[in-house]
Amino acid sequence: MREDRKEGLETALIPQQEIDGSIKFQQGYCFQADVIEEAKQQLWLAGPLIAVSLLQYCLQVISVMLVGHVGELALASASLGSSFANVTGFSVLLGMGSALETLCGQAYGAKQYHMVGVHTQRAMLILIASSIPLAIIWFYTASILIALGQDEEISTLAGAFNRWMIPSLFAYALLQCLNRFLQTQNNVVPMMFCSGITALFHILVCWALVFKFGMGIRGAALSITISNWINVILLGLYIKFSTSCIKTWTGFTREAFHDILSFIKLAIPSAIMICFEYWSFEMVVLLSGLLPNPKLETSVLSISLNTCWMVYMISVGLGGAIRVSNELGGGNSQRALLALRVMITIALSEGAIVGITTIFVRNVWGRLYSNEEEVVKYVARMMPLLALSDFLDGFQCVLSGAARGCGWQNLCAWINLGAYYGVGIPCAVLFAFVLQIGGMGLWLGIICGLTVQIIALVTLNACTNWDNEAAIAKQRLERNGIVVDMD
């Protein structure tokens, strides 16, 4: 029993000799020692993953920030274009790629390393193919936005922004696959370095294209494309030549073309699960264009959303470090439960710190995006609401990460549908247009939806039999030709 326990706890980040020093209690280790070791491991993983999430997302934030200093119209257009791109492109690919958190995570936990690479290559094929129709949608961004009732001048520039970003769709598709490939192996430090190099390069390129070469909003979009491809190339070179990926990446194989349907069956609900949540937030920006003074409302709501997503990346890092899929793939059901409980505690602490910080910087944050005093003051009024949503988001992101690790994407898609479109969006419309609270009312509606989502996820996790989840993971692995010994 002791040897099995040690094997389940050992990872690349916690050497065997550290585990041997743990305190024994009854048949395993004392609960306190387990919690400390789990927290240590998750924090070592979460730190780089948080950095990766922030650095990769900041490409869009930096571009919108720089464009904001060109003028209010440019800021509104870049913000609207970026929101439309997230709704119709990036969120779809992100959701489909998250299926690898289940497949690669459980395969790696079962020590079937070859299948980690096969699942990743299969995902690359599907996501690249999916990018083609998404690119067509981006090409007609301006026409779609105008048909939806958005301001024609803003929509035209937003369309130009997205056309220049079309090549980044394909880079983003590959990037999601490579990120999950390394993340599920707990190999996160190289991701952090590659993302850091890319972000530094992006600042220089974006500034040069926007101001030095006078490309304005088009230069901001082009810089995102260039930077995403640089990140893909750096990660690809690392995976190709690093000794740490020898077992999991053995070169391209024809196996990637087999059993594509099984990946699609998990990728589609994964995308729906993510998109339902992301789309509701982005819909806030689209609805803001229907309010009086649409330039001001769109600018402020876009700044709020960019801020929210930037903070959300911290929670994404925490959710990625939870390792539920690894533990279930290895048949360690109680370790999966422990991992979830420890990460919930960390997420609540993080949410409180971020929420307090958000309130403290409310009077200066808007100046990072705009020189307009009206915009700065409006952003300051929005920040307390952002603080609340940031706190709630940290909690739900960890619960959603555990759900993806278990393969609950179908169920969570229904939860997100009911929470955001049965409660959140209707409340947003009620507050903003009926009660005439404006942009702040739109955000209050989203908070209502977020609250319902959390209640449902907490109930789901509380009612879960983790031994059954480990057995389900075993069955999934065996369907892929992987035999797992859970004794």
Residue 372: band (very low, low, confident or very high) from pLDDT cuts 50, 70, 90: confident
pLDDT at 127 over 90: yes
Residue 480: band (very low, low, confident or very high) from pLDDT cuts 50, 70, 90: low
Domain spans of the chain?
A: 27-478
pLDDT, tens digit, for every residue of 171-223? 999 999 999 999 888 888 999 999 999 999 999 999 999 888 888 889 999 99
Residues 6+ apart with CB under 8 A from 129: none
pLDDT, tens digit, for every residue of 136-146? 999 999 999 99
pLDDT of residue 7: 41
pLDDT of residue 22: 39
Residue 25: band (very low, low, confident or very high) from pLDDT cuts 50, 70, 90: very low
pLDDT at 430 over 60: yes
Position with higher pLDDT, 328 vs 414? 414
CA distances 218 to 85, 88, 206, 222, 321, Å, are 14, 19, 10, 6, 36
pLDDT, tens digit, for every residue of 340-356? 888 888 888 888 888 89
Q: Name the pTM for this structure.
A: 0.78
pLDDT of residue 9: 38
pLDDT of residue 23: 36
The stretch 28-33 carries a mean pLDDT of: 56
pLDDT at 245 over 70: yes
The stretch 102-111 carries a mean pLDDT of: 83
Q: Name the average pLDDT for the chain.
A: 83
Task: Name which of 338, 340, 335, 320 is nearest 486 in CA terms.
Answer: 335
Lowest mean pLDDT across 119-123, 325-329, 469-473: 325-329
Are the C-beta atoms of 420 and 453 separated by less than 8 Å?
A: yes
Percent of the chain with pLDDT over 70: 91
What number of other Cβ atoms are within 10 A of residue 187's Cβ?
A: 20
Q: Which amino acid is at 134?
A: L
Q: Is the dihedral of CA 330, 242, 12, 397 positive or negative?
A: negative
pLDDT of residue 1: 39
Residue 390: band (very low, low, confident or very high) from pLDDT cuts 50, 70, 90: confident
